[in-house]
Structure 1
Amino acid sequence: MEEKIEVKKGLTGFQIKIIAMILMVFDHIHAYLNYSKNVPIQFRWVGRIVAPLFIFMTVEGYYYTRNKKKYMIRLYIAQLIMSIGNDLLDKFFPRPDSIIIMSSMFKTLFLIVIYLSIVDFLRGAFKDKNISKVLLGIGFLAIPILLSSVIMISISNLPFSFIRIFMLLIPMPLFTEGGIVFIAIGIVLYLFRDNKTKQVISYIIMCIVIMLLSGDFSIQSLLYTNFQWMMIFAAPLMYLYNGEKGRGMKYLFYIFYPAHIYLFHMISYYMLTR
Protein backbone atom coordinates (compact mmCIF):
# COMPACT_ATOMS: atom_id res chain seq x y z
CA MET A 1 0.00 0.00 0.00
CA GLU A 2 1.39 3.35 -0.98
CA GLU A 3 2.04 5.76 1.86
CA LYS A 4 0.07 8.97 1.54
CA ILE A 5 2.08 12.18 1.75
CA GLU A 6 0.29 14.74 3.89
CA VAL A 7 0.20 18.17 2.31
CA LYS A 8 -0.12 21.01 4.78
CA LYS A 9 -2.66 23.72 4.09
CA GLY A 10 -1.41 27.23 3.49
CA LEU A 11 1.55 28.67 1.63
CA THR A 12 5.09 27.34 1.55
CA GLY A 13 8.08 29.63 1.87
CA PHE A 14 8.78 29.20 -1.86
CA GLN A 15 5.23 30.25 -2.78
CA ILE A 16 5.44 33.35 -0.57
CA LYS A 17 8.73 34.32 -2.21
CA ILE A 18 7.24 33.91 -5.69
CA ILE A 19 4.26 36.10 -4.75
CA ALA A 20 6.67 38.71 -3.35
CA MET A 21 8.81 38.65 -6.50
CA ILE A 22 5.80 39.11 -8.79
CA LEU A 23 4.57 42.08 -6.76
CA MET A 24 8.12 43.44 -6.66
CA VAL A 25 8.13 43.59 -10.45
CA PHE A 26 4.98 45.78 -10.40
CA ASP A 27 6.55 48.06 -7.79
CA HIS A 28 9.76 48.50 -9.77
CA ILE A 29 7.93 49.06 -13.04
CA HIS A 30 6.49 52.15 -11.38
CA ALA A 31 9.83 53.10 -9.80
CA TYR A 32 11.95 52.82 -12.97
CA LEU A 33 9.58 53.05 -15.94
CA ASN A 34 7.18 55.78 -14.86
CA TYR A 35 9.03 58.58 -16.65
CA SER A 36 5.87 59.28 -18.70
CA LYS A 37 3.74 59.32 -15.50
CA ASN A 38 1.39 56.74 -16.98
CA VAL A 39 2.02 53.78 -14.63
CA PRO A 40 -0.83 53.37 -12.10
CA ILE A 41 -0.08 54.21 -8.47
CA GLN A 42 -1.61 50.84 -7.60
CA PHE A 43 1.68 49.27 -8.75
CA ARG A 44 3.31 51.00 -5.77
CA TRP A 45 0.53 49.93 -3.43
CA VAL A 46 1.01 46.21 -4.05
CA GLY A 47 4.75 46.72 -3.77
CA ARG A 48 4.43 47.76 -0.11
CA ILE A 49 3.98 44.16 1.01
CA VAL A 50 7.13 42.90 -0.74
CA ALA A 51 9.81 43.95 1.76
CA PRO A 52 7.87 42.64 4.81
CA LEU A 53 7.45 39.27 3.11
CA PHE A 54 11.16 38.97 2.36
CA ILE A 55 11.95 40.07 5.92
CA PHE A 56 9.53 37.40 7.15
CA MET A 57 11.20 34.71 5.06
CA THR A 58 14.67 35.89 6.10
CA VAL A 59 13.64 35.45 9.74
CA GLU A 60 12.47 31.92 8.89
CA GLY A 61 15.68 31.25 6.97
CA TYR A 62 17.79 32.40 9.90
CA TYR A 63 15.81 30.23 12.34
CA TYR A 64 16.04 27.06 10.27
CA THR A 65 19.52 27.35 8.79
CA ARG A 66 22.09 24.96 10.22
CA ASN A 67 24.93 27.37 9.58
CA LYS A 68 23.98 30.91 10.62
CA LYS A 69 27.47 32.24 9.93
CA LYS A 70 27.31 31.01 6.34
CA TYR A 71 23.85 32.56 5.98
CA MET A 72 25.21 35.94 7.13
CA ILE A 73 28.19 35.71 4.78
CA ARG A 74 25.91 34.90 1.83
CA LEU A 75 23.76 37.97 2.49
CA TYR A 76 26.86 40.14 3.00
CA ILE A 77 28.36 39.04 -0.32
CA ALA A 78 25.01 39.61 -2.04
CA GLN A 79 24.76 43.19 -0.73
CA LEU A 80 28.37 43.87 -1.64
CA ILE A 81 27.96 42.63 -5.21
CA MET A 82 24.71 44.54 -5.69
CA SER A 83 26.18 47.75 -4.26
CA ILE A 84 29.03 47.55 -6.76
CA GLY A 85 26.56 46.74 -9.53
CA ASN A 86 24.41 49.75 -8.58
CA ASP A 87 27.41 52.07 -8.83
CA LEU A 88 28.47 50.65 -12.20
CA LEU A 89 24.97 50.95 -13.68
CA ASP A 90 24.64 54.54 -12.46
CA LYS A 91 28.04 55.37 -13.94
CA PHE A 92 27.66 53.77 -17.37
CA PHE A 93 23.89 54.18 -17.78
CA PRO A 94 23.11 57.53 -16.09
CA ARG A 95 19.48 58.54 -16.49
CA PRO A 96 18.92 62.13 -17.69
CA ASP A 97 16.37 62.65 -14.91
CA SER A 98 19.11 61.89 -12.34
CA ILE A 99 17.24 58.93 -10.85
CA ILE A 100 19.82 56.49 -9.48
CA ILE A 101 19.58 52.90 -8.27
CA MET A 102 19.00 53.05 -4.53
CA SER A 103 17.77 49.50 -3.93
CA SER A 104 19.72 47.86 -1.12
CA MET A 105 17.40 45.29 0.42
CA PHE A 106 20.27 42.83 0.74
CA LYS A 107 21.92 45.30 3.13
CA THR A 108 18.74 45.45 5.22
CA LEU A 109 18.36 41.67 5.31
CA PHE A 110 22.02 41.28 6.28
CA LEU A 111 21.61 43.72 9.17
CA ILE A 112 18.42 41.97 10.28
CA VAL A 113 20.31 38.67 10.51
CA ILE A 114 23.09 40.40 12.47
CA TYR A 115 20.53 41.80 14.89
CA LEU A 116 18.80 38.42 15.24
CA SER A 117 22.12 36.88 16.26
CA ILE A 118 22.46 39.63 18.89
CA VAL A 119 18.94 38.83 20.11
CA ASP A 120 19.99 35.19 20.52
CA PHE A 121 23.11 36.34 22.39
CA LEU A 122 20.97 38.43 24.75
CA ARG A 123 18.52 35.59 25.30
CA GLY A 124 21.39 33.38 26.39
CA ALA A 125 22.77 36.13 28.61
CA PHE A 126 19.40 36.68 30.34
CA LYS A 127 18.94 32.93 30.74
CA ASP A 128 22.37 32.63 32.38
CA LYS A 129 21.73 35.84 34.36
CA ASN A 130 25.07 37.12 33.14
CA ILE A 131 24.92 40.92 33.58
CA SER A 132 28.19 41.59 31.76
CA LYS A 133 26.95 39.70 28.68
CA VAL A 134 23.60 41.49 28.85
CA LEU A 135 25.38 44.85 28.80
CA LEU A 136 27.63 43.64 26.00
CA GLY A 137 24.60 42.55 23.96
CA ILE A 138 22.92 45.92 24.48
CA GLY A 139 26.13 47.54 23.29
CA PHE A 140 26.09 45.36 20.18
CA LEU A 141 22.52 46.53 19.47
CA ALA A 142 23.46 50.20 19.81
CA ILE A 143 26.83 50.28 18.00
CA PRO A 144 25.53 50.06 14.37
CA ILE A 145 23.00 52.86 15.01
CA LEU A 146 25.57 55.04 16.77
CA LEU A 147 28.06 54.45 13.96
CA SER A 148 25.42 55.44 11.40
CA SER A 149 24.69 58.60 13.36
CA VAL A 150 28.37 59.55 13.53
CA ILE A 151 28.77 59.07 9.77
CA MET A 152 25.62 61.11 9.08
CA ILE A 153 26.84 63.98 11.27
CA SER A 154 30.37 63.90 9.84
CA ILE A 155 29.49 63.19 6.23
CA SER A 156 30.18 66.76 5.05
CA ASN A 157 33.64 66.74 6.63
CA LEU A 158 34.83 63.38 5.31
CA PRO A 159 36.29 62.60 1.86
CA PHE A 160 33.60 61.33 -0.52
CA SER A 161 35.73 58.33 -1.53
CA PHE A 162 36.08 57.29 2.11
CA ILE A 163 32.32 57.54 2.66
CA ARG A 164 31.60 55.45 -0.45
CA ILE A 165 34.05 52.70 0.48
CA PHE A 166 32.99 52.68 4.13
CA MET A 167 29.29 52.43 3.28
CA LEU A 168 30.05 49.77 0.68
CA LEU A 169 31.92 47.53 3.11
CA ILE A 170 29.94 48.22 6.29
CA PRO A 171 26.12 48.27 5.98
CA MET A 172 24.59 50.65 8.54
CA PRO A 173 20.96 50.92 9.73
CA LEU A 174 20.44 54.57 8.79
CA PHE A 175 21.72 54.07 5.24
CA THR A 176 19.80 50.97 4.18
CA GLU A 177 16.38 50.47 2.60
CA GLY A 178 13.71 50.72 5.27
CA GLY A 179 16.34 51.54 7.89
CA ILE A 180 15.58 50.97 11.56
CA VAL A 181 11.87 50.35 10.84
CA PHE A 182 12.53 47.27 8.69
CA ILE A 183 15.13 45.99 11.15
CA ALA A 184 12.63 46.41 13.99
CA ILE A 185 10.05 44.46 11.98
CA GLY A 186 12.54 41.63 11.57
CA ILE A 187 13.28 41.54 15.30
CA VAL A 188 9.58 41.57 16.27
CA LEU A 189 8.75 38.79 13.80
CA TYR A 190 11.59 36.74 15.27
CA LEU A 191 10.66 37.35 18.90
CA PHE A 192 7.08 36.17 18.31
CA ARG A 193 7.69 33.47 15.70
CA ASP A 194 6.69 30.69 18.11
CA ASN A 195 3.15 32.11 18.25
CA LYS A 196 1.69 32.88 14.83
CA THR A 197 -1.22 34.92 16.19
CA LYS A 198 0.97 37.13 18.39
CA GLN A 199 3.48 37.47 15.56
CA VAL A 200 0.92 38.71 13.05
CA ILE A 201 -0.87 40.97 15.56
CA SER A 202 2.46 42.55 16.57
CA TYR A 203 3.26 43.16 12.92
CA ILE A 204 -0.16 44.75 12.30
CA ILE A 205 0.34 47.05 15.30
CA MET A 206 3.69 48.18 13.87
CA CYS A 207 2.02 48.98 10.53
CA ILE A 208 -0.67 51.01 12.30
CA VAL A 209 1.98 52.93 14.23
CA ILE A 210 3.76 53.73 10.97
CA MET A 211 0.49 55.09 9.59
CA LEU A 212 -0.11 57.19 12.71
CA LEU A 213 3.40 58.62 12.55
CA SER A 214 2.71 59.98 9.07
CA GLY A 215 0.54 62.64 10.77
CA ASP A 216 -1.69 63.14 7.75
CA PHE A 217 -4.75 60.89 7.65
CA SER A 218 -6.47 62.39 4.64
CA ILE A 219 -7.47 59.95 1.90
CA GLN A 220 -5.23 61.84 -0.52
CA SER A 221 -2.22 61.33 1.73
CA LEU A 222 -2.89 57.71 2.70
CA LEU A 223 -3.43 56.64 -0.91
CA TYR A 224 -0.99 58.76 -2.85
CA THR A 225 1.79 59.97 -0.54
CA ASN A 226 2.13 58.17 2.79
CA PHE A 227 1.05 54.71 1.69
CA GLN A 228 3.80 52.72 3.40
CA TRP A 229 1.13 51.57 5.89
CA MET A 230 -0.18 49.31 3.12
CA MET A 231 2.47 46.79 4.07
CA ILE A 232 -0.17 45.71 6.61
CA PHE A 233 -1.59 43.58 3.77
CA ALA A 234 1.41 41.26 4.08
CA ALA A 235 -0.08 40.01 7.36
CA PRO A 236 -2.57 37.53 5.79
CA LEU A 237 0.21 35.92 3.74
CA MET A 238 2.39 35.63 6.85
CA TYR A 239 -0.51 33.98 8.66
CA LEU A 240 -1.04 31.52 5.80
CA TYR A 241 2.61 30.36 5.95
CA ASN A 242 2.55 26.65 6.78
CA GLY A 243 6.14 26.34 7.94
CA GLU A 244 7.20 24.33 4.89
CA LYS A 245 10.16 25.39 2.76
CA GLY A 246 8.65 24.28 -0.53
CA ARG A 247 10.75 23.98 -3.67
CA GLY A 248 14.45 24.45 -3.04
CA MET A 249 15.59 27.32 -5.26
CA LYS A 250 17.94 29.02 -2.80
CA TYR A 251 19.56 31.48 -5.20
CA LEU A 252 16.49 32.50 -7.23
CA PHE A 253 15.88 35.71 -5.25
CA TYR A 254 19.59 36.52 -5.08
CA ILE A 255 19.71 36.54 -8.89
CA PHE A 256 16.24 37.82 -9.78
CA TYR A 257 16.25 40.83 -7.44
CA PRO A 258 19.23 42.71 -8.94
CA ALA A 259 18.72 41.32 -12.47
CA HIS A 260 15.23 42.73 -12.99
CA ILE A 261 16.16 46.11 -11.45
CA TYR A 262 19.17 46.44 -13.75
CA LEU A 263 17.02 45.45 -16.75
CA PHE A 264 14.42 48.11 -15.91
CA HIS A 265 17.14 50.71 -15.33
CA MET A 266 18.78 50.03 -18.70
CA ILE A 267 15.41 50.07 -20.50
CA SER A 268 14.62 53.44 -18.93
CA TYR A 269 18.10 54.72 -19.87
CA TYR A 270 17.66 53.86 -23.55
CA MET A 271 14.08 55.15 -23.62
CA LEU A 272 15.12 58.49 -22.12
CA THR A 273 18.25 58.97 -24.21
CA ARG A 274 17.11 57.77 -27.61
Structure 2
Amino acid sequence: MSATMLKFIMAFIMVLDHIEFFISPELAAFFHLISRPVAPVFAYLAIEGFIHTRNQKKYISRLYLAAFAMILGNFIINNFVLMDPGFFVRNNIFLSLALGTTSLYIYEEYFKNQKLLGLLLIFLVLIVSLSSEGGIFLVPFMLICYINRDNTKKRNIILIMITAFLAYGSYGYLMEMNIESTIILLGFGADSLFFIAGIPFMYLYNGKRGLSNQFTKYFFYVFYPLHLWIIHIIAAFNIIG
Protein backbone atom coordinates (compact mmCIF):
# COMPACT_ATOMS: atom_id res chain seq x y z
CA MET A 1 0.00 0.00 0.00
CA SER A 2 1.42 3.39 -0.99
CA ALA A 3 2.01 6.33 1.34
CA THR A 4 -0.76 8.30 -0.36
CA MET A 5 -3.30 5.52 0.15
CA LEU A 6 -2.31 5.13 3.80
CA LYS A 7 -2.75 8.87 4.35
CA PHE A 8 -6.26 8.84 2.90
CA ILE A 9 -7.26 5.84 5.02
CA MET A 10 -5.83 7.41 8.17
CA ALA A 11 -7.57 10.70 7.38
CA PHE A 12 -10.93 8.92 7.27
CA ILE A 13 -10.29 7.09 10.55
CA MET A 14 -9.10 10.35 12.10
CA VAL A 15 -12.45 12.00 11.37
CA LEU A 16 -14.21 9.25 13.32
CA ASP A 17 -12.06 10.11 16.33
CA HIS A 18 -13.07 13.77 16.18
CA ILE A 19 -16.88 13.52 15.96
CA GLU A 20 -17.33 12.80 19.67
CA PHE A 21 -19.65 15.83 20.01
CA PHE A 22 -22.35 14.08 18.00
CA ILE A 23 -22.26 10.48 19.27
CA SER A 24 -22.59 8.53 22.51
CA PRO A 25 -19.62 8.27 24.92
CA GLU A 26 -19.44 4.53 24.24
CA LEU A 27 -19.23 4.98 20.46
CA ALA A 28 -16.80 7.88 20.88
CA ALA A 29 -14.57 5.66 23.02
CA PHE A 30 -14.75 2.88 20.41
CA PHE A 31 -13.77 5.29 17.62
CA HIS A 32 -10.96 6.62 19.81
CA LEU A 33 -9.70 3.07 20.26
CA ILE A 34 -9.72 2.13 16.57
CA SER A 35 -8.09 5.44 15.62
CA ARG A 36 -4.93 4.76 17.66
CA PRO A 37 -2.94 3.86 14.50
CA VAL A 38 -3.48 7.32 12.97
CA ALA A 39 -0.76 9.32 14.72
CA PRO A 40 1.93 6.60 14.55
CA VAL A 41 1.22 5.98 10.86
CA PHE A 42 1.53 9.68 10.02
CA ALA A 43 4.69 9.77 12.16
CA TYR A 44 6.09 6.77 10.30
CA LEU A 45 5.32 8.38 6.95
CA ALA A 46 6.99 11.59 8.18
CA ILE A 47 10.10 9.49 8.84
CA GLU A 48 9.89 8.14 5.29
CA GLY A 49 9.51 11.68 4.00
CA PHE A 50 12.54 12.79 6.03
CA ILE A 51 14.62 9.91 4.66
CA HIS A 52 13.70 10.39 1.01
CA THR A 53 13.39 14.17 0.73
CA ARG A 54 16.08 16.00 -1.20
CA ASN A 55 16.19 18.77 1.40
CA GLN A 56 15.66 17.72 5.01
CA LYS A 57 15.80 21.26 6.37
CA LYS A 58 13.12 22.39 3.93
CA TYR A 59 10.98 19.36 4.82
CA ILE A 60 11.19 20.14 8.54
CA SER A 61 10.58 23.84 7.90
CA ARG A 62 7.37 23.00 6.02
CA LEU A 63 6.09 21.10 9.05
CA TYR A 64 6.91 24.02 11.35
CA LEU A 65 5.20 26.40 8.94
CA ALA A 66 2.08 24.21 9.00
CA ALA A 67 2.28 24.04 12.80
CA PHE A 68 2.48 27.80 13.24
CA ALA A 69 -0.27 28.34 10.66
CA MET A 70 -2.51 26.03 12.68
CA ILE A 71 -1.60 27.78 15.93
CA LEU A 72 -2.73 31.04 14.34
CA GLY A 73 -5.84 29.42 12.85
CA ASN A 74 -6.79 27.84 16.18
CA PHE A 75 -6.36 31.19 17.92
CA ILE A 76 -8.65 32.95 15.47
CA ILE A 77 -11.29 30.19 15.43
CA ASN A 78 -11.26 29.78 19.21
CA ASN A 79 -11.34 33.45 20.18
CA PHE A 80 -13.40 35.03 17.42
CA VAL A 81 -15.71 32.24 16.25
CA LEU A 82 -16.20 29.58 18.91
CA MET A 83 -15.63 31.74 22.02
CA ASP A 84 -16.42 28.77 24.29
CA PRO A 85 -13.53 26.84 25.89
CA GLY A 86 -15.65 23.70 25.82
CA PHE A 87 -15.40 23.67 22.02
CA PHE A 88 -11.88 25.07 21.53
CA VAL A 89 -9.61 23.35 19.00
CA ARG A 90 -6.38 22.38 20.74
CA ASN A 91 -5.04 19.81 18.27
CA ASN A 92 -1.86 20.40 16.29
CA ILE A 93 -0.14 17.23 15.14
CA PHE A 94 2.02 19.30 12.77
CA LEU A 95 4.03 20.62 15.72
CA SER A 96 4.60 17.11 17.05
CA LEU A 97 5.72 15.87 13.62
CA ALA A 98 8.01 18.88 13.25
CA LEU A 99 9.60 18.17 16.63
CA GLY A 100 9.90 14.48 15.74
CA THR A 101 11.69 15.15 12.47
CA THR A 102 13.87 17.71 14.27
CA SER A 103 14.97 14.95 16.64
CA LEU A 104 15.87 12.79 13.62
CA TYR A 105 17.94 15.63 12.16
CA ILE A 106 19.72 16.10 15.50
CA TYR A 107 20.44 12.39 15.65
CA GLU A 108 22.04 12.46 12.19
CA GLU A 109 23.93 15.73 12.56
CA TYR A 110 25.08 15.64 16.18
CA PHE A 111 24.41 12.43 18.07
CA LYS A 112 26.66 10.16 16.00
CA ASN A 113 29.74 12.37 16.42
CA GLN A 114 28.90 14.53 19.45
CA LYS A 115 26.83 12.26 21.67
CA LEU A 116 26.62 14.59 24.68
CA LEU A 117 25.45 17.54 22.60
CA GLY A 118 23.09 15.29 20.64
CA LEU A 119 21.55 13.89 23.83
CA LEU A 120 21.11 17.37 25.24
CA LEU A 121 19.41 18.68 22.10
CA ILE A 122 17.11 15.64 21.84
CA PHE A 123 16.25 16.04 25.54
CA LEU A 124 15.30 19.67 24.87
CA VAL A 125 13.07 18.55 21.98
CA LEU A 126 11.38 16.05 24.32
CA ILE A 127 10.77 18.80 26.88
CA VAL A 128 9.17 21.02 24.24
CA SER A 129 7.11 18.07 22.98
CA LEU A 130 5.34 17.89 26.35
CA SER A 131 3.25 20.84 25.20
CA SER A 132 2.43 19.38 21.77
CA GLU A 133 -0.30 16.93 20.78
CA GLY A 134 0.92 13.45 21.71
CA GLY A 135 4.49 14.66 21.42
CA ILE A 136 5.77 12.80 24.47
CA PHE A 137 4.81 9.57 22.68
CA LEU A 138 5.42 10.62 19.10
CA VAL A 139 9.00 11.91 19.35
CA PRO A 140 10.40 8.75 21.02
CA PHE A 141 8.37 6.62 18.59
CA MET A 142 9.93 8.40 15.62
CA LEU A 143 13.44 8.06 17.03
CA ILE A 144 12.96 4.35 17.73
CA CYS A 145 11.59 3.68 14.24
CA TYR A 146 14.26 5.77 12.53
CA ILE A 147 17.24 4.36 14.42
CA ASN A 148 16.00 0.79 13.90
CA ARG A 149 14.71 1.25 10.35
CA ASP A 150 16.98 -1.55 9.11
CA ASN A 151 16.08 -3.89 11.97
CA THR A 152 12.30 -4.13 12.18
CA LYS A 153 12.41 -7.05 14.62
CA LYS A 154 14.38 -5.00 17.14
CA ARG A 155 12.09 -2.01 16.51
CA ASN A 156 8.98 -4.08 17.17
CA ILE A 157 10.39 -5.61 20.35
CA ILE A 158 11.23 -2.17 21.74
CA LEU A 159 7.77 -0.81 20.85
CA ILE A 160 6.03 -3.82 22.41
CA MET A 161 8.09 -3.55 25.59
CA ILE A 162 7.25 0.13 25.97
CA THR A 163 3.56 -0.60 25.40
CA ALA A 164 3.59 -3.38 28.00
CA PHE A 165 5.22 -1.04 30.51
CA LEU A 166 2.71 1.75 29.86
CA ALA A 167 -0.28 -0.56 29.91
CA TYR A 168 0.75 -2.52 33.00
CA GLY A 169 -1.93 -2.28 35.62
CA SER A 170 -4.07 0.11 33.56
CA TYR A 171 -6.79 -2.42 32.85
CA GLY A 172 -6.49 -4.69 35.89
CA TYR A 173 -10.00 -4.02 37.11
CA LEU A 174 -11.87 -4.33 33.80
CA MET A 175 -13.57 -7.57 34.81
CA GLU A 176 -15.35 -5.74 37.63
CA MET A 177 -16.91 -3.18 35.30
CA ASN A 178 -19.98 -3.28 33.07
CA ILE A 179 -19.57 -3.36 29.30
CA GLU A 180 -20.29 0.35 28.76
CA SER A 181 -17.70 1.44 31.34
CA THR A 182 -15.21 -1.07 29.97
CA ILE A 183 -15.53 0.30 26.43
CA ILE A 184 -15.07 3.87 27.65
CA LEU A 185 -12.03 2.95 29.75
CA LEU A 186 -10.43 1.00 26.93
CA GLY A 187 -11.16 3.73 24.41
CA PHE A 188 -10.01 6.79 26.27
CA GLY A 189 -7.22 4.94 28.06
CA ALA A 190 -5.84 3.58 24.81
CA ASP A 191 -2.96 6.01 24.47
CA SER A 192 -0.67 3.32 25.90
CA LEU A 193 -1.31 1.43 22.64
CA PHE A 194 0.29 4.26 20.64
CA PHE A 195 3.64 2.51 20.21
CA ILE A 196 2.25 -0.69 18.67
CA ALA A 197 -0.93 0.49 16.95
CA GLY A 198 0.86 1.43 13.76
CA ILE A 199 2.95 -1.74 13.36
CA PRO A 200 0.47 -3.63 11.10
CA PHE A 201 0.23 -0.62 8.77
CA MET A 202 4.02 -0.35 8.59
CA TYR A 203 4.00 -3.81 7.03
CA LEU A 204 1.21 -2.83 4.63
CA TYR A 205 3.31 0.09 3.40
CA ASN A 206 5.11 -0.87 0.19
CA GLY A 207 7.72 1.87 0.34
CA LYS A 208 6.22 3.78 -2.59
CA ARG A 209 4.84 7.28 -2.58
CA GLY A 210 1.86 6.44 -4.76
CA LEU A 211 -0.10 9.13 -6.59
CA SER A 212 1.96 12.30 -6.38
CA ASN A 213 0.74 15.74 -7.40
CA GLN A 214 0.04 19.10 -5.77
CA PHE A 215 -3.27 17.83 -4.37
CA THR A 216 -1.80 14.77 -2.65
CA LYS A 217 1.26 16.72 -1.50
CA TYR A 218 -0.75 19.33 0.39
CA PHE A 219 -3.99 17.42 1.08
CA PHE A 220 -3.24 16.61 4.71
CA TYR A 221 -1.86 20.08 5.43
CA VAL A 222 -5.27 21.51 4.48
CA PHE A 223 -7.62 18.68 5.45
CA TYR A 224 -6.32 18.20 9.00
CA PRO A 225 -7.00 21.71 10.37
CA LEU A 226 -10.04 22.33 8.17
CA HIS A 227 -11.97 19.25 9.28
CA LEU A 228 -11.29 20.06 12.94
CA TRP A 229 -12.44 23.66 12.59
CA ILE A 230 -15.61 22.62 10.74
CA ILE A 231 -16.49 19.91 13.29
CA HIS A 232 -15.99 22.24 16.24
CA ILE A 233 -17.98 25.06 14.62
CA ILE A 234 -20.87 22.68 13.87
CA ALA A 235 -20.80 21.42 17.45
CA ALA A 236 -20.52 24.86 19.05
CA PHE A 237 -23.42 26.34 17.11
CA ASN A 238 -25.51 23.16 17.25
CA ILE A 239 -25.86 23.18 13.48
CA ILE A 240 -26.66 19.47 13.52
CA GLY A 241 -29.56 18.41 15.75
- TM-score category by the smaller chain? 0.7 to 0.9
Say how many residue pairs are matched: 229
Match of 1:258 in 2: 225
User: Is 2:95 aligned against 1:93?
Assistant: no
What residue number does 1:166 align with?
none
Matches within 5 A, 1:181-192: 181-192=137-148
Against the structure 1 CA distance between its residues 39 and 134, is the aligned structure 2 distance closer, same or farther, given a 3 Å change threshold?
closer
- In the alignment, the residues of structure 1 paired with residue 187 and residue 119 of structure 2 have an alpha-carbon distance, to the nearest angstrom, of 39
TM-score of the superposed pair, with normalisation by structure 2:
0.85
- State the distance in 1 between where 2:59 and 2:224 align: 17
Structure 1 runs (4+) deviating above 6 angstroms are none
* Rg (Cα) greater in structure: 1
Structure 2 residue 164 is matched with structure 1 residue 208: yes
Deviation of residue 79 (structure 1)? 0.1
Residues 255 and 273 of structure 1: CA distance in aligned 2, closer, same or farther (over 3 Å): closer
Structure 1 residue 188 displacement after superposition: 0.4
- Would the aligned equivalents of 1:96 and 1:273 in 2 still touch at CA under 8 Å? no
Residues 107 and 97 of structure 1: is their aligned pair in 2 closer, same or farther, counting only changes over 3 Å?
Answer: closer
Q: Select the residue among 196, 200, 205 that pairs with 1:241.
A: 205
**One-letter code aligned to 1:194:** D
Structure 2 vs 1, CA of residues 13 and 27 (structure 1 numbering), >3 Å: closer, same or farther? same
Q: For 1:185, give the aligned amino acid.
A: F
For structure 2, the 5+ residue unaligned runs are: 175-181
| Partner of residue 139 from structure 1, selected from 100, 103, 120 | 120
CA distance in 2, matches of 1:90, 1:96: 7
- Among 159, 169, 172, the residue aligned to 1:217: 172
| TM-score, normalised by the number of residues in structure 1 | 0.76
After superposition, the C-alpha distances for 1:180-216 in whole angstroms (9 at most, x for unaligned) are 221100100101111233333333333323212x644
Cα distance in 2 for residues equivalent to 1:114 and 1:57: 15
Q: For residues 55-92 of structure 1, what are the alpha-carbon distances to aligned partners after superposition, in whole Å with 9 as ceiling and x for unaligned?
A: 11011111111100100110010000001111111112
Of all paired residues, the percent bearing the same amino acid is 31
- Distance in 2 separating the partners of 1:201 and 1:15: 27
Question: Is 1:200–1:239's contact at 8 Å kept on the other side of the alignment?
Answer: no
